[in-house]
């Protein structure tokens, strides 16, 4: 690889870092709009993200991003650190955010001449003995928003990894021509990185325990033997890539000691969590409503009430049944600790608490709570929101649209001739088509959009702050691209299309909006399918 091409790849990489950081700024502003209970923490988060954006943009000469970032910094500096932004500051911020959004538009908002996946942060590297399958995979991955590259030799792969650490590598066990030469290549590559690259191994010939153990020890997350079709591989690649950043845990701390509360806030922020601190137990209901915590830390003994009493009040609200409650107290009597936990607590930490112990406990409880919540609100096949939670989110977005006087669109999607797909290729292939459309939608829609599976082959999409014409254009572009995607079915491939109906909220209840979107969907079916219809207001 020449010096010029290396420099060009490096330049493209850092340009993507700028646009990725811009997305972080936009997402933070979205959190500020939807989470008024934690202004001070979110102000600092927006300030830090914007400063990093300006540094990146100035370094790589992306003038529009730098100018928008500086405008945001100016507005944030006019914002008092301990209160919500006033009307003038909020207007100034919104203008700067709009300018940044225009500089960081997704492909569907821009001309068709631009590359469709320019915001993907890092590549997927493919090292397969079968070059035809590698090229086929690259074409499929591009449809899902991934940037992938295939390599013919271990030397080329090594050079590429030295230039740019990939998000994941798909590796043939025998890549290079000899037994386990692919594994040996990965062992050498992993020595260069502090954190290992997730590896997906494939083998047509060797599935022995010895080979599997060696592959696992050098970062192998998956081992396919015999080899699988591209559809399954793409699903696994999507699992081990990090296009969607993990949201920090929202932790509510109630402790009547201001010094202890401040210490907790410092520890939590240092660990990357979002903390909301209150010292008066009478403020607990307001804090629950405005902050919506994922984890709650309670002091055991406070003036006027105990942590156990507060825990019982919290558990009386259905939406906080599964939120972990952790007691923090100097109480060392194990009997009293167990009694406290029987009244709604999940864990008990004794003061003084080791910060590492605290953070480890919060991560363990937070992961489990999110997993349980996902089981309740997400569809098991696709990972999208289920029917019930999608309708709940629609109600929430209607309230927000009314408060902010913003547009809102709701879309319904139905896969065309899906019964024929099941009858022709079987239900497992039909399930894979459903998963491929869910991945396609997640890759191409904004983080602020909500995607749900309504049931069967039907999907629902909530598009906040979106005009009907923009919603139609975005979904139409997705429809066209999805129709080009080759769906694998053994030795055969086929194409699938979908029909869509879009309704714009017209100051009506959610069930009426759903009915209008549903009628627009049926109009698309009546018009011959494979189209997007906009409902009449």
85: phi > 0 → left, psi -120 to 50 → alpha, else beta; which?
beta
Pairing of β 301-302 and β 305-306: antiparallel
Q: Half-sphere exposure of 383 toward its Cβ, with a 13 Å CA cutoff?
A: 14
272: phi > 0 → left, psi -120 to 50 → alpha, else beta; which?
left
Count Cβ atoms within 10 A of the Cβ of residue 65 and give its class: 0-12 exposed, 13-18 middle, 19 or more buried: buried
Q: For the chain, how many helices (H) and strands (E)?
A: 19, 19
Q: Which strands make up the sheet holding 347-350, listed edge to edge?
A: 274-278, 250-254, 295-299, 325-329, 347-350
In the numeric block, which tokens belong to residue 20?
């990725």
Alpha helices in 106-257 (DSSP H): 131-143, 154-163, 181-190, 209-217, 230-239
Residues 209-224 as b/e (b if ≥16 CB within 10 A, e otherwise) read: eebbebbeebbbbbbb
Query: Which residues are marked as active site?
Result: 457
Pairing of β 408-415 and β 450-455: unpaired
Cα gap 219→212, rounded to integer Å: 11
Closest by Cα among 78, 80, 75 to 93: 75
Query: ∠ at Cα 131 (129, 132), nearest 5°?
Result: 130
Cα gap 509→209, rounded to integer Å: 58
Q: What end-to-end distance do the CA atoms of the chain give, in Å?
A: 57
């Amino acid at each position: 690889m020449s010096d010029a091409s290396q420099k060009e790849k490096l330049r493209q990489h850092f340009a993507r870092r700028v646009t990725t950081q811009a997305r972080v700024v936009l997402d933070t502003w979205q959190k500020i709009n939807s989470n008024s209970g934690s202004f001070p923490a979110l102000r600092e988060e927006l300030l830090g993200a914007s400063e990093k954006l300006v540094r990146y943009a100035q370094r790589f000469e992306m003038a529009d991003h730098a100018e928008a970032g500086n405008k945001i910094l100016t507005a944030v500096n006019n914002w008092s650190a301990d209160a919500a932004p006033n009307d003038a500051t909020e207007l100034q911020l919104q203008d700067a955010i709009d300018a940044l959004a225009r500089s960081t538009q997704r492909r569907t908002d821009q001309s068709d001449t631009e590359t469709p996946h320019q915001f993907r942060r890092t590549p997927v590297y493919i090292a397969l003995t079968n070059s035809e399958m590698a090229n086929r995979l690259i074409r499929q991955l591009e449809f899902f928003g991934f940037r992938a590259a295939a390599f013919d030799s271990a030397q080329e792969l090594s050079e590429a990894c030295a230039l740019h650490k990939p998000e994941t590598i798909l590796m043939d066990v025998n890549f290079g021509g000899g037994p386990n030469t692919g594994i040996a290549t990965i062992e050498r590559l992993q020595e260069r990185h502090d954190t290992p690259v997730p590896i997906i191994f494939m083998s047509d010939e060797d599935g022995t325990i010895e080979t599997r153990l060696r592959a696992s020890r050098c970062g192998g997350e998956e081992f396919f033997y015999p080899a699988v079709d591209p559809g399954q591989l793409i699903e696994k690649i999507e699992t081990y890539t990090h296009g969607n950043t993990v949201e920090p845990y929202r932790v509510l701390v109630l402790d009547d000691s201001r010094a202890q509360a401040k210490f907790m806030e410092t520890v939590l922020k240092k660990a990357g969590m979002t903390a909301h601190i209150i010292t008066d137990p009478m403020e607990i209901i307001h804090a629950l409503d405005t902050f919506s915590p994922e984890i709650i830390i309670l002091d055991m003994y406070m003036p006027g009430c105990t942590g156990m009493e507060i825990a019982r009040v919290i558990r009386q609200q259905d939406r906080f049944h599964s939120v972990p409650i952790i007691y923090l107290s100097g109480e060392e009597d194990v009997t009293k600790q167990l009694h406290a936990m029987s009244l709604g607590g999940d864990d008990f930490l004794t003061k003084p608490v080791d910060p590492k112990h605290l953070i480890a406990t919060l991560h363990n409880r937070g992961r489990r709570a999110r997993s349980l919540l996902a089981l309740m609100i997400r569809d098991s096949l696709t990972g999208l929101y289920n029917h019930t939670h999608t309708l709940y989110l629609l109600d929430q977005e209607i309230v927000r649209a009314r408060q902010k006087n913003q547009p809102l669109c709701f879309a319904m999607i139905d896969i065309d001739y899906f019964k024929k797909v099941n009858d022709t290729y079987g239900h497992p292939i039909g399930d894979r088509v459903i998963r491929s459309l869910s991945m396609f939608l997640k890759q191409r829609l904004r983080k602020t959009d909500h995607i749900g599976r309504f049931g069967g082959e039907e999907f629902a999409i909530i598009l906040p702050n979106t005009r009907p014409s923009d919603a139609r254009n975005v979904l139409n572009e997705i429809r066209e691209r999805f129709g080009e995607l080759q769906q694998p079915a053994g030795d055969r491939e086929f194409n699938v299309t979908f029909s869509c109906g879009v309704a714009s909220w017209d100051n009506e209840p959610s069930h009426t909006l759903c009915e209008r979107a549903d009628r627009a969907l049926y109009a698309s079916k009546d018009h011959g399918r494979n189209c997007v219809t906009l409902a009449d207001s």
